[in-house]
Amino acid sequence: MILPIVGYGHPTLRKVAEPIDSNYPNIKQLVADMFETMYGADGVGLAAPQVDLPIQVIVIGVPIFNEETKEYNDTLEEHVMINPEILEAKGKEQYYNEGCLSLPGIHEDVLRPEGIVVRYLDTDFQEHTEEIHGMYARIAQHEIDHLNGKVFTDRLSPLRKAMVKRKLGDVSSGKVKTAYKMKATK
Ligand code: ZN
């Protein structure tokens, strides 16, 4: 089931999300719905607060570049993280142009470490600690920010923040049209 996505200005995007445990009802269905919502909106990641659920669940779809065909694979490499925690940054900080389904029409270069060590639970509530890099690490960091009530524009310089302020206002007042279903800001 495709879930409506909340936009910038919605209070759930600013909440610190709660960790969950194996008592959470039907986590696998929620994760399936989150992937369906992500694909339906042509995204590469989605955090539960973006579908108005302030819990620590993220889904990620990493585009994989095929060195032989010199094209991206047709399918994304799927990952799910529950209660993720970044333990360490790895490698250099790099800029990458980010967008967000909750901030339609806004794309900005964001500085983040190239890799991270992350600890998380899978959908069977088994713990994993992994060192990840590249696009996977980039998307994971963006989605983990959502669990801390942050969006990518919070990481911009004061000047760039000032420059996107009007666009953010247009999103929160519901002026920006999207091809996917959004939930009105409360
Ligand atoms: Zn986002």
Q: Is the pTM of this model over 0.85?
A: yes
pLDDT classification of 106: cutoffs 50, 70, 90: very high
Distance 74 CA to ligand 1 centre (A): 22
Q: Which of 68, 98, 127, 143 is catalytic?
A: 143
* Predicted confidence (pLDDT) per residue in 22-66, tens digit: 999 999 999 999 999 999 999 999 999 999 999 999 999 999 999
Residue 180 lies in a domain: no
The answer to whether residue 14 sits within a structural domain is yes
Domain harbouring 40, CATH code: 3.90.45.10
**Ligand 1 centroid – CA 151 distance (Å):** 6
Q: How many domains does the chain have?
A: 1
User: Is 143 a residue of the active site?
Assistant: yes
Range of the domain at 67: 5-175
What's the mean per-residue pLDDT of the chain? 96
Domain assignment present for residue 182? The answer is no
* pLDDT over 90 (residue 141): yes
94 Cα–ligand 1 center, Å: 18
Query: Is residue 184, in this structure, part of any structural domain at all?
Result: no
Inside any domain, residue 27 = yes
Does residue 181 lie in a domain region? no
Q: What is the DSSP string of the chain?
A: -PPPEEPTT-GGGGSPPBP--TTSTTHHHHHHHHHHHHHHTT-SEEEGGGGT--BSEEEEEE--EETTTTEE-SS-EEEEEEEEEEEEEEEEEEEEEE--TTSTT--EEEEEEEEEEEEEE-TT--EEEEEEEHHHHHHHHHHHHHHTT--GGGGS-HHHHHHHHHHHHHHHTT----SS-EEPP-
The Å distance, Cα 140 to ligand 1 centre, comes to 10
Instruction: Tell me whether residue 183 is in a domain.
Output: no
pLDDT band at 184 (very low <50, low <70, confident <90, very high): confident
Q: What is the mean pLDDT of residues 152-169?
A: 96
Residue 116 has pLDDT above 90, yes or no: yes
Instruction: Flag whether 186 is in a domain.
Output: no
What is the model's pLDDT at position 186?
A: 58
Model confidence at 185: pLDDT above 80: no
